[in-house]
Structure 1
C-alpha cells in the first residue's frame, strides 16, 4: 500500500497526524513482516510496548492499546513505515506467537464462514432446481403471534405519537412544547416502550430543528407518513412493508436477507466510507459502493463496540469483485457481502452526469420517503460562496458541501480550481463529502463524527 492509501484508512485527521509522529525508529524496538502480515511493538507511556499487527489481506488491524479509534495510530504508523521504509522490517524467522495466534483465529473463522456460505448456496440451488421457493419456511404459529402482538404495540405507540404531533402543529411550530426538550425525550421513550425505538432518534433530530420551522415540519411530515403507512400496511407491497419495518427499527434477520434478497455479482468500487461513534461506545461504519458493470449503488452498514473494530476492511478507491445481497426495499441500497474477492488494480468509476445522479437520488427518496442518505458521485469545481464550500456543476448548478471547517482550505488546494470528482452522502440538502479525486489520487474528505 502506498503512503496515500494508508492515510486514507485513518478515521480522522488527528489519527493520521499522530501516526506520522510515530514513525521514529526509537519508538519501535520490534518490526517484522512477511507476505501475510506486518507486526511491531511500539513503546508507549507504559512499561510494556503496545503489540500492533496488521493482516495485509485486508488490511485488518489489531493493537493492544486502549484507543477507541479504528484503526489506531499505531496500526497506521506500522503500515506507513512499511510503505516508506520496508528495509526496517525483519523478514527472518517466524512471526511472534501473539501474531500467529491472531492470524490462525482469523483463518479458522474465515473457513467456517466459507463453509456456511457454500451450504447456503447449495440449498438455494437445490430449491431452485426443484422449483421450490428459496425463501425460508413460513413462520410458526408462535412467531406469527409474536409479530401480531408487536404490531399492536407499535400501532398503539404511533397513535399516541399522532395525537402528540397534532397538538404540536395546532400550537404552532414556533411555539416550543411546554415541557421543552424533555417532552421530546419523553415521547421518544414511549416509542421505545412500543417497540418502535428507531423513531426516538427521529424525534430527537426533529427536536433539534425547533429554530428551523420548515425543516421541522418536513421531519414531522415524514413521521406522520409513517404512521399512515403502518395503519394501511396490508395494502403496501412487500418491498414497501420492508421499508416501514426497517424505519421502525424492526430489521430482518441476516439469514432471511440472504435467502430473500436480490444477489448481484459485480466488481465493486469503494466510493467512500465513514466511521462514527454513537452512544454507549457503539461504532457505526458506512461503506458506499458502486458496481462497475451494473452501475448499482450499495451501502454496507456495520457496527462494532468499543475497540473491536471491523473484520472486513474497505479502502476508498479500491475495487473488489464479489456478490452483494440487497435488503428488500422499494429503493434497494443496503446490502450484505456474500462473497468478496481480492483487491483489483482498476481505475475508480467516473463521476456521473449531474441530471442523472440527482434524478436517481430523487427517485430513490420518493420510493422510500424515510431513506436518510443516498450516495452521489459528481464532477465539478470547488468554490467558496461566502463561508460555504460548494461543488459547482454544469448550467450553474451548485451543491453545498458539508465538510469540517478546518479542511476547507486544504480541499480547495487539492482541487486547485480544476474539475474534481467528489463522492459523498446526500441528505436532500447538503452533500457530506467523503472522497475527492483530482488527477493524481484519492484524497479523503473526512466528515466530523457524531457527538464530537
Structure 2
C-alpha cells in the first residue's frame, strides 16, 4: 500500500471512503506502529477502550475490534491512509495482540497448505458426473463448514456461561456467513441453537445438543465421499441444498397405498411464508410420510388434505436415510381414515431407528393410543402406558382436545421433536374426533 489510490481501491463502498478520510488524524490514534509484515494502531472511538486495528500486509488482511461488518472497515482504511500520509509516526515495536494475530494467521495458513496437499493426493469427494457448478458449490460449503467448526470451538472455549443478549449478535453474523457460503441450512440450525440460550433451566443442554449436531454435520461434509448415498442426501438437506422435486417424482422410491391423514400443521415461517406439513400413514405399507410444502404471499397449496380422511395416492420419497419426506404425484380422496394400531414401544423403536440412520431429523410422527390429556399447573401433559409426556400446544387447541376426550383416554396423533409432543388430531375407536388444527403449535 504505497499510495492513496491503492488503499482506496480496497474500500467496500464510497461511504467507507468518506468515513475513513474523517479518521485520518493522528490525534485520533494514540498508538501507531508498522514493520515489514504489518501495520497496527489503536483508534479512539465513542467507548472507553480504543479499537485495535491491524493489517497483515501479505494479504492484505484486516482485523479490527469495532462492530462493523464491512471489510475492510473504516478504521483499517484510515490506518493505511495515515501510514501513506505520515509514515514517520509509526513505531516498529509490536504489541502482544499484533504478534498473536500474525502467529495465528501463519498457523492457519500452514494448516490450509497441509489440507490442500492432502486434498491434492486424495480421491475426489464428488462423483465423476458432478458438474463444475456442483463441485464449486461443495467447495464453498466445505469452507463454510470449516469456518463454523472453528467458530464453535471458540465459543466453547469461552464457555456458554459467558453468553448474553449482546454476544448473540455474533451468532447471527455467523449464520449470515453460512448463507454467504451457500450453506443456509447450517445458518438456520445455528439460529435455532441461539434461540435456546438462557431459555429454561436446561438451556445449556439444549444448546449443546444443537451445536453437537452442527459439528456432526460439518464432519460429515468433510468426509462425505466415504458416507452412504442416503446419508449424503441427508447432508445436502442439512446444509440447505434444495432437491429438484421433479427428479423426486421421476426417480424417487414410489409407494402406492391408501394413506390416512394423521394431521396437518401450518406455521408462519416469515412474514409472507407459510409452511405446511401433512403427515400420512400407509394402511398397507405401514409407512409414515411427510408432505412438506410452502406458500408465499398468500398463494394456496396445490393439494388439499383433511385430518381424519384417507386417500389413494402414489407417493415418491425423497432420497435420504430418514425416509420420511415424500411428494404426491396423484391422489384420489376416499373417505374416513383407518388409524394406525402401533404400540408405544413400536413408535419409540421407529423413532430410534430413524434417528440412528439420520440424527438431524428434528420432527417425527408419533401416535399415542389410549392417552389421557391433562392440564397441570405448569402446562399440558399426556399420560400413556405409565409414561408422562410433556405437551406443547395452543391453549385453545388443548382445551378443545380436552373437551373432546372428556378427560377419558383417546388416541392422539402428533409430532415429537425429542422434547415434547405436539398434538395434531384425536379420535376414539367408535368415531373420528374433530381434532385437526391449522396452527396447533405454540
TM-score normalized with structure 1 length: 0.65
Contact map agreement 2:397 2:440 (CA 8 A) in 1: no
289-298 or 405-414, which moves further after superposition? 405-414
Query: Which of 151, 157, 175 is matched with 1:188 structurally?
Result: 175
1:383 correspondence with 2:370: no
Q: Where do residues 368-407 of structure 1 align in structure 2 (5 Å cutoff)? A: 368-379=358-369, 380-394=371-385, 396-407=386-397
Aligned-pair CA distance for 1:140: 9.4
Cα distance in 1 for partners of 2:314, 2:163 equals: 49
Query: Which of 171, 196, 202 is matched with 2:189 structurally?
Result: 202
Cα distance in 1 for partners of 2:193, 2:182 equals: 19
Structure 1 partner of 2:350: 360
Structure 2 partner of 1:285: 276
Contact map agreement 1:433 1:446 (CA 8 A) in 2: no
Contact map agreement 1:266 1:291 (CA 8 A) in 2: yes
Unaligned runs of 5+ in 2: 1-125
- RCO greater where, 1 or 2, for CA within 8 Å and sep 6 or more? 1
CA displacement 1:96-138 (0-9 Å, x = unmatched): xxxxxxxxxxxxxxxxxxxxxxxxxxxxxxxxxxxxxxxxxx9
Cα distance in 1 for partners of 2:396, 2:165 equals: 38
Cα distance in 1 for partners of 2:299, 2:337 equals: 32
Measured on the aligned residues, the alpha-carbon RMSD in Å equals 2.1
Distance 1:422 1:284, change over 3 A: same
Aligned-pair CA distance for 1:448: 4.6
1:329 correspondence with 2:320: yes
Number of residue pairs aligned between Structure 1 and Structure 2:
311
Point out the structure with max Rg over C-alpha: 2
Aligned-pair CA distance for 1:368: 0.7
SS at match of 1:369: coil
Cα distance in 2 for partners of 1:301, 1:447 equals: 14
1:171 correspondence with 2:158: yes
Structure 1 partner of 2:204: 213
Aligned-pair CA distance for 1:177: 6.3
SS at match of 1:444: coil
Distance 1:387 1:178, change over 3 A: closer
TM-score normalized with structure 2 length: 0.67
Distance 1:171 1:147, change over 3 A: same
CA displacement 1:19-73 (0-9 Å, x = unmatched): xxxxxxxxxxxxxxxxxxxxxxxxxxxxxxxxxxxxxxxxxxxxxxxxxxxxxxx
Contact map agreement 2:423 2:440 (CA 8 A) in 1: no
Cα distance in 2 for partners of 1:304, 1:406 equals: 25
SS at match of 2:355: helix
CA displacement 1:61-100 (0-9 Å, x = unmatched): xxxxxxxxxxxxxxxxxxxxxxxxxxxxxxxxxxxxxxxx
1:428 correspondence with 2:418: yes
Cα distance in 1 for partners of 2:383, 2:165 equals: 44
The runs of at least 4 consecutive aligned structure 1 residues that moved more than 2 Å come to 138-141, 345-348, 383-388, 405-411, 438-450
Structure 2 partner of 1:244: 235
Structure 1 partner of 2:133: 146
